[in-house]
Amino acid sequence: MDSAYSVVGLAVLLMAFPLMGSCGGKGCTLIACANGLSINFVRQSSWQAGTWDIVLEESDARVGSCMIELPESTSSSGTSCSGELRVDVSSDGSRIDSVYTYYDFTVGLTNPEDSFSRTVTLTIRRSGEKVTQSTLEPNFERYYPNGPDCGEGCWQATVQYAF
């Protein structure tokens, strides 16, 4: 009797196998998608030793901020972030490679189409003194990690920034 159940179970599993990982027969994967903005710092020589504070704002509302001590200690993280901002530090802890946020920049838009832009302000301070403040207008585009026929997609933008 147990072998009969095993055979039936195996047959059901084999019939279901081709459907696994598909989305309506379209071969969709299940990769997560989140709205976001990445700012990549392209002139790495700008990062000197000290305490750095990075603030990102949109329409006078703080998206988030990160404070980090460079060079970053390998024994403990000297990074403190608040809001929806995160920082990526180089593997040797000597510089900041990028900051990113999963903040939803579509809030307030009535009907985003294929792309849209938002105005954000990036402020960077070192040891309390302003190093740079820039107004950026990233162009957000629809991103479909599972394919255009598999789900709603999300809005993402990347900015290359030198200071």
What pLDDT does residue 73 have? 76
pTM, entire model: 0.78
Give percent of the chain with pLDDT exceeding 70: 82
Q: Higher model confidence: residue 133 or residue 8? A: 133
Strands 36-41 and 154-161: parallel
Q: What would the CATH number be for the domain defined by 31-161? A: 2.60.40
